[in-house]
Amino acid sequence: MENKCIWNKYSKTQLKELEALNADYIDFLSACKTERECVDEIVTRIEDAGYVDINSYIKEKKQITAGDKLYAVNMNKSLIMIQVGSAPLEEGLNILGAHIDSPRIDIKQNPLYEDSGLAYLDTHYYGGIKKYQWVTTPLAMHGIVAKKDGTNIIIQLGEEADDPVFFISDLLIHLSAEQLEKKASHVIEGEALDIIIGNRPIAPSKKKGKEEESADEKDAVKKSILALLKEYYDMEEEDFLSAELEIVPAGKARECGLDRSMVLGYGQDDRVCAYPSYRAMLAVEGLEKTAVCILTDKEEIGSVGATGMQSRFFENTMAELASLEGEYTDLKLRRMLAASFMLSSDVNSAFDPTYASSFEKKNAAFLGRGMVLGKFHGARGKSGTNDANAEYIGKLRGVFDKDKVSFQMAELGRVDLGGGGTIAYMLAKYGMNVIDCGVAVLNMHAPYEVTSKADIYETYRGYISFLKNA
């Protein structure tokens, strides 16, 4: 069995749709580099498409009817969309799931210091990164500062053409003989990932005497940065304590290749699945089974915390949904979840000819060959995986055949080399059918990841087919 390249199967109309979808995806990827930004942007977009906050239904004790579109937001970092179908909820839901957090570098809570005339922000990286990939590249700062009075300062700096950017330094090649002897995992250490944010000292105060002036010179660059933070954001040094500032590659996502067949951009794990998931929800109408789309946080660090997939947010929201249908019982909720089908979407590593020995070619995903399904991932002897049921895969083959959706079945790398975790098993514990699904990515987890426009379009088509036919 070999999967074919899918580019030449599309009609002219489909190719137009493919390009339009990808143009909007590139804009989305450029604008949404944090989980909060994804939630804000998607809520704005889906409200325009008629989705309303589930809390308004709960407050007004309004019952749901077929065609209703609801959403629920959790701490501005995760989101659930619901489109009510004509069948009772107990017959099960068709669920799409993806995550909207990405590997990055977070600012510590006491970050600001000066060394040798340079002002730094100390950091702690988030998720799995090759640290050496993050040095000497322009970086932007995205996030919020939560003030004691309950207000939030929103920061997004480094994205506009005239914004300043930040960077992490690396040693020049001329002095690197010792550094280059180190293992790649130690070439750049975690504590060496500090961001340089300034080099100009604050001007000495004229009124003060000579003694005070020389005292001013200590940490004069840090003082200048603090003065600027005050001026731009009305922010004190203590406000870093309650800030979430994420350092990400600066700049927009781009078309890639002379043939413009690919997309290069930061954070495609897993926004390349989150984006077509939410778009598929907007593309379907008149569903029989209720459709749900979960966009979750904290996947890169184990889906923990209140906004990760392991929290009760999903279950609680489904309980609210069940009660909005009329009478609520715990048994009804359990039946509804157990009868559900899910595509748990996350990126898969695309076969890379340069590193061919890390893959087993027959069971690897290729760029441009369609949506990826993974019966299992896991490490060693499939450890920790959700192993999708053969019967469910058989059913999905029938579903995708109906709409001529091309998919490739793949594992993540060769046996005993690695493997990866996804959110699939967390939903599977409700007894529902879940399969790993997603889009193939080259340089996965690097500052700039690469995907195929055709795969993004085909995955979008696959999600629509699933919501309509599963």
Contacting residues toward Mn ion, per CB under 5 A: 269-270, 346
Nearer to Mn ion, 68 or 300 (CB): 300
What whole-number distance in Å separates Cα of residue 291 and Cα of residue 341? 10
The pair of structure tokens assigned to 367 is 């760029």
| Shortest Å distance, C-beta 168 to Mn ion | 21
Is the separation of the CB atoms in 213 and 204 below 8 Å? yes
| Shortest Å distance, C-beta 373 to Mn ion | 15
Nearer to Mn ion, 104 or 289 (CB): 104
| Shortest Å distance, C-beta 269 to Mn ion | 4
What whole-number distance in Å separates Cα of residue 462 and Cα of residue 469? 10
| Shortest Å distance, C-beta 273 to Mn ion | 8
Rg of the chain over Cα atoms, rounded to whole angstroms, equals: 24
Nearer to Mn ion, 114 or 346 (CB): 346
| Shortest Å distance, C-beta 357 to Mn ion | 22
Cβ-Cβ contacts under 8 Å for 402 (sequence gap 6 or more): 465, 469
Nearer to Mn ion, 346 or 436 (CB): 346
Nearer to Mn ion, 269 or 297 (CB): 269
| Shortest Å distance, C-beta 335 to Mn ion | 30
| Shortest Å distance, C-beta 347 to Mn ion | 5
What whole-number distance in Å separates Cα of residue 42 and Cα of residue 442? 26
Is the separation of the CB atoms in 296 and 99 below 8 Å? yes
Edge to edge, the sheet with strand 407-409 lists 52-53, 69-74, 78-83, 290-296, 93-99, 341-345, 433-438, 371-374, 407-409
Strands 341-345 and 93-99: what pairing?
parallel
H or E element, residue 282: helix 268-283
Nearer to Mn ion, 121 or 446 (CB): 446
- Count CA atoms within 13 Å of residue 64 on its CB side: 31
Nearer to Mn ion, 166 or 359 (CB): 359
Phi/psi region, residue 119 (left: phi>0; alpha: psi -120 to 50; beta: rest), is beta
